[in-house]
Amino acid sequence: MIGKKRILVACGTAVATSTVVAKAVEEALEKRGIQATIQQCKASEVPSKAADADLIITTTPVATDHGKPVIQTLAFLTGIGKDAVLEQIIEKLGA
Amino acid sequence: MGLNQYLSESNILLGLAAESSSDVIRQLGKTLLKDGYVKESYIDAVINWEKTLPTGLPLDGDVNVAIPHTDIEHVNKSAVAMATLAKPVTFQNMVGPSESVAVKIVFLLALEEPHAQIEMLQEVAGVVQNAGVLKALLAATDPKEVLLAFEKTETDSVSD
């Protein structure tokens, strides 16, 4: 594996839903043997932090004009479509 | 170390009659303010937050949930207030704000820094994902029944 993947998890406050999502993504990737560094931020901070990320996962609309893949999803909160989103994450990470 | 540590009977409103999402937030927020969990600025902050960063979560069944909250500066101590609504109230979808979500259960979150309340947040998500518990919450007529339903999910989640 070439270095750890960097995932930015965004939500409105950076303390509520992104906390749940970050933990869930971390655990799910670990089970697949994928190591990733996960950082949380506010949706408004995405433009300034996107450069340091390989993938952005968000529960709320964020800027998408920074050239990094963005996955907008509630799956890790509602459980709906979680497996499909996980596959999408792994694919976008190229892991 | 779960939800019940942050949720008290005095912060549970069952069969609440509310006109709008702001009305729910105001009525629930008052219970948190009264118990000293949040600052005077909290209720307006949550209402304004909801307008730009809505928190409606559309679910699979016929029960949808909203989890209004705001910045940590308006909070004294982490807590949760919960309401079941007599009639559904419209919130906007968190991930797609142009979409309306008819919400019957609201968890109003008073949050401090992210890692202070991770179990609480995970448990709220666990409840959202558990149709059986949501049903039990809607059927509850006494706050004690709500706390009991959450105690059961805590036991369940241990084996998760």
**Would you call B95 and A80 a contact, using CB atoms and an 8 Å cutoff?**
no
Tokens of A28: 């799910």
Query: If pLDDT is split at 50, 70 and 90, which confidence band does B154 have?
Result: low
A18-34 CB burial, b ≥16 within 10 A, e <16? bbbbbbbbbebbeeeeb
Q: Is residue A2 over pLDDT 60?
A: no
Interface test with A, best of B50, B55, B107 (most A CBs within 10 A): B55
Proportion of chain B above pLDDT 70, given as a percent:
94
User: Three-state SS across chain B?
Assistant: CCHHHCCCHHHEEEEECCCCHHHHHHHHHHHHHHCCCECCCHHHHHHHHHHHCCCEECCCCCCEEECCCCCHHHECCCEEEEEEEEEEEEEEECCCCCCEEEEEEEEEEECCCHHHHHHHHHHHHHHHCCHHHHHHHHHCCCHHHHHHHHHHHHHHHHCC
Confidence of residue B13 (pLDDT cuts 50, 70, 90): very high
pLDDT at residue B26, as a whole number: 98
- Residue B150: which residues within 8 A CB-CB, separation 6 or more? B2, B3, B4, B7, B123, B127, B133
- For residue B110, what are the β-bridge partners? B79
Domains of chain A: 5-93 (3.40.50.2300)
Give dist(CA B133, CA B127) in Å, integer: 6
What are the residues facing A9 on neighbouring strands? A40, A57
Is residue B51 pLDDT above 60, yes or no?
yes
What residues make up the domain containing B101?
A: 3-155
The pLDDT of residue B159: 41
pLDDT at B91 over 80: yes
Three-state DSSP at A41 gives: strand
Residue B160 has pLDDT above 80, yes or no: no
Residue among A11, A62, A75, A86 flagged as catalytic: A11
* CATH (domain of B105): 3.40.930.10
- Residue B155's pLDDT is 62
Backbone angles phi, psi at B88, to 5 degrees: -60, 145
Q: What is the pLDDT of residues B126-152, one digit of tens each?
A: 999 999 999 999 999 999 999 999 887
For residues B53-80, give the mean pLDDT: 94
Judged by a CB distance cut-off of 8 A, whether residue B94 touches chain A is yes
- Position B160 in a domain: no
A26–chain B nearest CA distance, Å: 14
A13 vs B contacts (CB less than 8 Å): 53, 69-72, 111
| pLDDT tops 80 at residue B81 | yes
Mean pLDDT score of chain B: 92
Strand-pair partners of B38: B75
Number of domains into which chain B is organized: 1
Residue B3: what pLDDT?
A: 85
Chain A CA closest to residue B51: A12
Q: Name the average pLDDT for chain A.
A: 93
